Amino acid sequence: MAPYETLCRLTRETAILQSIEALIGWDERTYMPPAAGEYRAEQMTYLAGIVHQRRTDKRIGELLGELATSPLTKDKHSDEATTIRQLQRDYIKQIKLPQTLVEELTRASVLGQQAWVEARKNNDFPSFAPHVKKLFELKRQQAEALGYKSCPYDALLDDFEPDALTADVAKVLADLRKDLVPLVQAIAQAKKRPDASILTREYPTAGQEAFGKAAAAAVGFDFHRGRLDVTHHPFCSGMGPHDCRLTTRYDEHFFPSALFGTLHEAGHGMYDQGLRPELYGLPPGMYVSLGIHESQSRMWENLVGRSRAFWQHFFPKFRETFSSARDVSLDNFYFAINSVQPSLIRVEADEATYNLHIIVRFELEQALLSGDLPVDDLPGAWREKYQQYLGIEPTDDADGCLQDVHWSAALIGYFPTYSLGNLYAAQFFEQADKDLGGLATQFSCGDFAPLLQWLQRNIHHRGQCHTAAELIQLVTHKPLTHAPLIRHLRAKLEPLYGLA
Amino acid sequence: MAPYETLCRLTRETAILQSIEALIGWDERTYMPPAAGEYRAEQMTYLAGIVHQRRTDKRIGELLGELATSPLTKDKHSDEATTIRQLQRDYIKQIKLPQTLVEELTRASVLGQQAWVEARKNNDFPSFAPHVKKLFELKRQQAEALGYKSCPYDALLDDFEPDALTADVAKVLADLRKDLVPLVQAIAQAKKRPDASILTREYPTAGQEAFGKAAAAAVGFDFHRGRLDVTHHPFCSGMGPHDCRLTTRYDEHFFPSALFGTLHEAGHGMYDQGLRPELYGLPPGMYVSLGIHESQSRMWENLVGRSRAFWQHFFPKFRETFSSARDVSLDNFYFAINSVQPSLIRVEADEATYNLHIIVRFELEQALLSGDLPVDDLPGAWREKYQQYLGIEPTDDADGCLQDVHWSAALIGYFPTYSLGNLYAAQFFEQADKDLGGLATQFSCGDFAPLLQWLQRNIHHRGQCHTAAELIQLVTHKPLTHAPLIRHLRAKLEPLYGLA
């Protein structure tokens, strides 16, 4: 067999094992009996070991060596060149990391998460601080082992947003912050306020489930190739070319949580379902980056799901489904689901303030990594930044720097991808609206297929054939900027809050 | 590491992969999206390949060679000797089979099942006959490759009922038939008949589910270490030392199907949960044989679940749960769930006639394997035996020799384990009743723990430290005979049908 075919075969076999990892991880979070957790960890660890062995197998290195100058690499964006380039990238990263460091990181992250759970419960940052120090120290070692262009954060960011540079991300998020802070402040002082109590009436779970499934199916999630279950922390997980599973949670007294959560996960799911199935497990059949993945979920959740046009179509069904909302007008409902309110907790934040939560974390984790911010000073720095960007600050660390799992799990460089997702979403959406001529009219008729097909054609089908930066340039003819997101937020929020 | 520890480590690793196979098989039958089937087959095949490789690895053979004369093998029934003996047994069987035969059998069974589905649908035995010929021919080759004591059927039976001999099984089933046929005939002619319509009233699914789960939990199935889902074909599958999953199906107009199905699967499940978890994946932590497994399911389904004492405890709850049954008396209900009626379909047969369905199949598959019965004559031979043993015969083959999947799936030697299960169940139960002094009184108070603990102590905890034949002798001080089952059936049925 030719080296390219052998490389693909080995990679597809590894993908089978990874898809099984995803499935047993899904089962762990959905249906696994309580007492089965310990053995499940053994199953996961054993599979992860085989996968790691296969990904760092010398045979892969040899095949990649043979293919380095192959004519297949000529056309950079072809499936073959992409396969070789991306697998080379993955292999180099894998073998650069000393086994001892990988093991230390795994251990530190397990212990870190345990300590975090306790620290958050007891509002006790000092007990968690030694873990943060250890984790950032190990991540510095990881960055040194991997190498980087300008700063160690580059190396870590690359795990989540491949090929992105810290300086570029910092620039676009700083631009965003500059425009977002005054907008959020203006809204905070606006006289017009939405009636948020509309959303906390009685919304029975069965109705929410039916409504959410119907909405996800209507926008294009294929339930023949996926499903929707219930978990405390919603997620989307792909476990095969035709098997993508979403989860959500139902709060009978807070309508937005399940529906927008479902649309968010369905957005991830439609990206997964839009990848070319025949390339499953190979880079041209895989998602580009977490930022691009998040752009899909945010687009369906916010740019579609919170649009007036979407509700022009769905509102009659909404009122029919929920007897408690029979007297609500579309206008009041639309304002309520788009209310903006500075808050302390990231995962509960609205579309506008969410990004400020991210910017706080992005700036702090860079300072922690470089050593500019001593770990012991984190709680104070956190309060300062919240005051500065959101105008409020937490009274305790549990609602402050202890609220997220990420740092305890060694996920440093992950946060910015959430806001990159919002930025990519707005810029792609603006282009799609231009290309397709009036998405709002289509949505108001319940027609979401043109947008989905546009995303499939321009993003999903391309897999990793382009980097995120190449993709946004290729599709929107511009590099990523903050302007489309700001335009979108102003266009929606200023009229609602009477600021226009 | 010493050879014994190495052998155990390798075996436990293989068990991890097998437990994952079980989990993804469970998922396939419960929650997998429809379009995911093709890739699921790839995942299953790939895992099965790794498992087979590991089980036939030369390293296992070498370790077993080193251990053959180890002092660990001295005490035959110790965990260590059992591990070595049973792994040796498994290894020898695995390597005796030529790879080409294994592959041919896999292919023939896939094609056989496809052909069977069509043939059954179209009542077209001739289109299925070539597959039966091929499959029995390959099974003859398998028997020759494995070797046997007296007849080729011995070698096949051993896959399902290890160490059992055809002649012994034939003897006990012939004894059973001799006593069972006249009993069933007498019942068929009895004047007293149950009012079976009680069972076909309205039984809403939600009530059945709650009742079934409560009953399974009450008899001792641990939902902390397991769960119950819905599938068309009920099953029980273990996928870890603390993860055992049952399925059932609900028919709103036929009460017995879900409840007795649930108790049946819970019986399998309690056996699984009664194995020593610290020995998971090793022979002393594994079930003895399909016959012993079936003895546990049949005991909880029939000897417990269809007993008057069980319903003395559960009947008030039953009447409370199902408004349609408020006017039913315990006596009439008890008679209805124990009605005996010769019928054509095995899986719908009652406790008494079920064994006659098995005996037909057991006799016919032996004749097919030996060549005494030409495949083309199977439909006629089937009708003849049904007439002889059950007094009725099918008008078409779909309700006759085409009704079961087993032969099409190359499962030859499997059928007798169903009846062995009934025989073992009755004999164990009689002994437990003697040892524990009056199970009926305990059941009528809702106390099922003494029986379960007796089963754990005498059967579950022993794993494969004894063969089935050794186990029945050890526990009941007698070899397996048909007498306890016949005693049980007569004691229950003769009074009900006024034959006493």
Query: Could you please report the per-residue DSSP string of B212-229?
Result: HHHHHHHHT--GGGEEEE
Q: What is the mean pLDDT of residues A124-152?
A: 97
Q: Please give the pLDDT value at position B1.
A: 75
pLDDT at A378 over 80: yes
A33 CB neighbours in chain B (<8 A) are 223-227, 242-245
- Asked whether residue A110 is domain-assigned, the answer is no
- B417 lies in the same domain as B339: yes
- B278 lies in the same domain as B374: yes
Say how many domains are in chain B.
2
Residue whose C-alpha is closest to residue A401's, from A419, A420, A415:
A415
- B70 lies in the same domain as B156: no
Q: Please give the pLDDT value at position A1.
A: 75
Nearest to B242 among A27, A33, A242 (CB): A33
Q: What is the mean pLDDT of residues A373-377?
A: 98
> How many interchain CB pairs under 8 A, A with B?
95
Residue whose C-alpha is closest to residue A356's, from A129, A179, A223:
A179
Contact B35 A242 (CB under 8 A): yes
B320-368, pLDDT tens digit by residue? Answer: 999 999 999 999 999 999 999 999 999 889 999 999 999 999 999 999 9
The Cα of B100 is separated from the nearest Cα of chain A by a number of Å equal to: 23
Nearest to A23 among B24, B42, B240 (CB): B24
Domain boundary residue, one of A96, A116, A145: A96
Contact B36 A223 (CB under 8 A): no
- B351 lies in the same domain as B208: yes
- Asked whether residue A101 is domain-assigned, the answer is no
CA pseudo-torsion sign A145, A147, A148, A151: positive
3-state class (DSSP) for residue B443: helix
Residue of A nearest to B13 (CA): A46
- Asked whether residue B427 is domain-assigned, the answer is yes
Say how far apart CA A180 and CA A425 lie, in whole Å: 16
Say how far apart CA B392 and CA B397 lie, in whole Å: 14
The Cα of B266 is separated from the nearest Cα of chain A by a number of Å equal to: 15
A264-308, pLDDT tens digit by residue? Answer: 999 999 999 999 999 999 999 999 999 999 999 999 999 999 999
- A165 lies in the same domain as A253: yes
- B169 lies in the same domain as B76: no
* Whole-complex ipTM: 0.93
A331-343, pLDDT tens digit by residue? Answer: 999 999 999 999 9
A73-85, pLDDT tens digit by residue? Answer: 999 999 999 999 9
Q: Please give the pLDDT value at position B63.
A: 98
- A86 lies in the same domain as A139: no
- Interface residue A96 vs chain B (CB under 8 A): no
- Asked whether residue B120 is domain-assigned, the answer is no
- B146 lies in the same domain as B88: no
Contact A369, A190 (CB under 8 A): no
Segment 215-254 of chain A within 8 Å of chain B by CB: 222-227, 229, 239-245
Share of chain B above pLDDT 70, in %: 100
pLDDT at A495 over 90: yes
Contact A28, A40 (CB under 8 A): yes
Interface test with B, best of A10, A11, A18, A19 (most B CBs within 10 A): A19
Nearest to A224 among B34, B47, B229 (CB): B34
Residue of B nearest to A37 (CA): B242
Report in angstroms the alpha-carbon separations of B292 from A13, A244, B277, B288.
38, 40, 19, 6
Residue of B nearest to A18 (CA): B43
> A274: domain CATH number?
1.10.1370.30
A223 CB neighbours in chain B (<8 A) are 33
Mean pLDDT for chain A overall: 96
Beta-bridged to residue B238, according to DSSP, are B244
Contact B406, B416 (CB under 8 A): no
- A314 lies in the same domain as A402: yes
- Asked whether residue A108 is domain-assigned, the answer is no
- Interface residue B24 vs chain A (CB under 8 A): yes
Share of chain A above pLDDT 70, in %: 100
The Cα of B170 is separated from the nearest Cα of chain A by a number of Å equal to: 41
- B378 lies in the same domain as B452: yes
Give the structural domain span for B55. 3-96
Say how far apart CA A230 and CA A250 lie, in whole Å: 8
B70-108, pLDDT tens digit by residue? Answer: 999 999 999 999 999 999 999 999 999 998 999 899 889
Residue of B nearest to A15 (CA): B43
The Cα of B16 is separated from the nearest Cα of chain A by a number of Å equal to: 6
Domain boundary residue, one of A96, A122, A139: A96
The pTM of this model reads 0.94
DSSP for B64-107, please give it.
Answer: HHHHTT-GGGSSTTSHHHHHHHHHHHHHHHHHHS-HHHHHHHHH
Selected catalytic residue, list B21, B80, B161, B265: B265
Report in angstroms the alpha-carbon separations of B496 from A238, B329, B443.
57, 14, 20
Contact B23 A27 (CB under 8 A): yes
| A89: its two tokens | 């990238």
- Asked whether residue B110 is domain-assigned, the answer is no
**3-state percent helix, strand, coil for chain B, nearest multiple of 5:** 70, 5, 25
Contact A336, A196 (CB under 8 A): yes
Say how far apart CA A459 and CA A300 lie, in whole Å: 15
- B280 lies in the same domain as B351: yes
Q: Which residue has the tokens 């099965």?
A: B48
Please state the φ and ψ torsions of residue B327, each to the nearest 5 degrees.
Answer: -95, 5
B224 CB neighbours in chain A (<8 A) are 33-35
Contact B404, B394 (CB under 8 A): no
pLDDT at A173 over 80: yes
* Residues lower than pLDDT 50 in chain B: none
Tell me, yes or no, if A202 is annotated catalytic.
Answer: no
- Asked whether residue A228 is domain-assigned, the answer is yes
Q: Please give the pLDDT value at position B500.
A: 74
Q: What is the mean pLDDT of residues A106-125?
A: 93
Domain boundary residue, one of B78, B96, B114: B96
- Asked whether residue A104 is domain-assigned, the answer is no
- Interface residue B484 vs chain A (CB under 8 A): no
3-state class (DSSP) for residue B327: coil
- A73 lies in the same domain as A14: yes
A409-452, pLDDT tens digit by residue? Answer: 999 999 999 999 999 999 999 999 999 999 999 999 999 999 99
Q: What is the mean pLDDT of residues A311-326?
A: 97
